[in-house]
Amino acid sequence: MITAANDSATWGREEVYELVWSQPMTKLVPIFGICDRAIAKNCHKLQIPFPGRGYWARKANGYSDPQKPLPKLHERPKFEWRRRQAPEPQPTPPPQPPTVEEVEDQREIEQINDLLASGALVPKSPGKAKRHPLLTATRKAFYGGRGSAMTAPPRHALSPLNVNVTKSSQRRALDIVGTVIAILEQQGVKVRTDERRNWATIFRQDVFFKITERRRKLQRPPAKPGDKSDLFRSNFDLEPTGELTFHILSGYEFTLHRWSDRANRKIEQGVPEIVAGILRTGVRLRREAENKRLEHERQQRRIEELRLLKNEIEAEEKRVAQLEKRADSWRRATLIRDYAQAVLNYHAQRGSDIAPESEVGRWMTWALQQADRVDPLAESPTSIIDRKVELQELPPWWR
C-alpha cells in the first residue's frame, strides 16, 4: 500500500496527474509524504505520465512542451495509493522546574560572571605574584637543571609547577601561571602542586591545570648512506613555536577547556577569563561529585532493598519446599495405609486369620506404624531405624 500525507481518502489517478503537471515533484514531497523518486516510481506503476527532465526549466524560460494525456488504466493495480491521516500532535510536556541544587549552582556561576564583568579578577599586587613560593621553586628547578628543551623540572624541596615549555618561554609561562595563582588566592582558593600536576581546590573539588607550548614538526634530512647512528632516530624534529596554551584538566588528564595564543591576542589578556573558567569548573565538578554521591547512595539503597528481597524470597521458597515435602509425606502415608487396608481385605476375603495376634495382624500394626512415621500430621512412633546413628561407632571396615 502506497501512503501519502493528507486525509484518509484515496488519491485518484486524475488528481495525481493534475498535481504532477502543476508543479515539480520535489514540491510534492510534503503532500505525498514520500521522496520525488518514489512519486515517479508509483506514477509508472499507475500509468500516469509526468514531465520529463528539463520541463520546468524550459517552461520558466517561456517554452511550453505539450502535456501528455492520461491514458486509460486497462489493468487494475495491485496496490492503492492512499492518503495518510495526519498524526495527532503530541502534547509538549511542561518544563521541569529547576532543583534547589541547580538554582544554587546558577547563583554561584552568576557571581563568578559578575566578578569577571566588574574587573575583580585581576591581581592586586603583580610584583608579589611573581615572587610566589611555587614560582620561586619552579625557577630554581629550571635553572638548576640541565635545561633540556621540553622536560619536566627535577624534584625540589617544594614541588615546582608543572610547566611544560622550553627555556625561551619559561619566564612568560611562569608569569601567566603566577598571575592565575595570585588571583585564585585572592578569592580564597588554595593552589597546590606535586611532581606531576597542579591543581586548585574549589568547593572541595580539585581542578587541575597546566600550561604547554606548541611544537612544530620539521622533516629531518635523510641519513647518509652507511650511517647507522640514525637507524632509530625519528624522521621529525620538534621545533618550539613560543605559542602557549593554558589547559583546565579533568582528573584523568583530559582537557576540559583551553586558552591558546592567537595572532591578535595573547593568553595574558585572557587571564581573568581563565580564572573564571577555573572557578566555573569547580562548580561543575562539585555538582558532578554530588550527583555521583547521590547515585551511589541510590544504588546502595537499591542493593539493600534487593538483599532484603532475596532473603524474603529464599525464606518463602524454603516454606514452599517444606510444604511440598510435608504434602508428599502425607500422600505417602495415605498410600501406605490404603495398601495395608487392601492387604487386610485380601486376607479377610481368603479366610485368613487377621486377629491382632496373627501374622497378618502384626504386619498390619507394623505397616500402620510406618505410615505414622511418614505422616506429618501423626505422632511418630519409635523405630529401630532411629538407632542408625550408633553405627558410626563401628570401625570403617565394618560399615
Domain ranges within the chain, ordered by starting residue: 2-84, 101-219+234-290
| 146 has pLDDT over 50 | no
CB contact at 8 A, 347 and 354: yes
DSSP 10: B
pLDDT, tens digit, 9 for 90 and up, residues 265-287: 999 999 999 999 999 999 999 99
The reported pLDDT for the residue numbered 247 is 94
pLDDT score at 399: 62
Rg for the chain, CA atoms, rounded: 46
Q: Over the stretch 112-145, which tens digit does the pLDDT of each residue have?
A: 999 999 999 988 888 877 888 888 888 887 766 4
For the ranges 5-9, 65-69, 212-216, 380-384, the lowest mean pLDDT is seen at 5-9
Q: Residue holding cell 517561456?
A: 62
Residue 194: closest CA among 246, 153, 248 = 153
Contact between residue 184 and residue 191 where contact means Cβ atoms under 8 Å apart: yes
Cell of 92: 509538549
pLDDT-derived band at 6 (thresholds 50, 70, 90) equals very low
> Left (φ > 0), alpha (ψ -120 to 50) or beta: where does 34 sit?
beta
Cβ-Cβ contacts under 8 Å for 48 (sequence gap 6 or more): 13, 16, 17, 20, 70
pLDDT, residue 246, reads 94
pLDDT for res 9: 55
In percent, the amount of the chain with pLDDT more than 70 equals 86
Long-range contacts of 334-339 (CB under 8 A, 24+ apart): 334/371, 334/375, 336/367, 336/368, 336/370, 336/371, 336/374, 337/367, 337/368, 337/371, 339/367
User: Which pLDDT score is estimated for 232?
Assistant: 59
Angle made by CA atoms 70, 73, 78, in degrees to the nearest 5: 130
pLDDT of residue 149: 41
User: Is the pLDDT at 201 greater than 80, yes or no?
Assistant: yes
User: 224-240: per-residue pLDDT in tens?
Assistant: 666 666 555 667 777 88
> What's the sign of the alpha-carbon dihedral 208, 211, 217, 220?
negative
Neighbours of 150 (CB within 10 A): 13
Name residue, grid cell 520558466: 60
Closest CA to 164 of 175, 176, 174, 150: 150
Judge whether residue 106 has pLDDT over 50. Answer: yes
User: What is the percent of the chain with per-residue pLDDT over 90, rounded to a whole number?
Assistant: 42
Q: Reply yes or no on whether the pLDDT at 181 is more than 60.
A: yes
Q: Which amino acid is at 342?
A: A
Predicted confidence at residue 147, as pLDDT, reads 40
Band of residue 259 on the pLDDT scale cut at 50, 70, 90: very high
CA atoms within 13 A on the CB side of 148: 7
Q: Is the pLDDT of residue 79 over 70?
A: no
Q: Which residue has the higher pLDDT, 9 or 289?
A: 289
Model pTM?
0.58
| pLDDT tens digit sequence for 332-367 | 999 999 999 999 999 999 999 999 899 999 999 999
Phi, psi of 14 (to 5 degrees): -65, -40
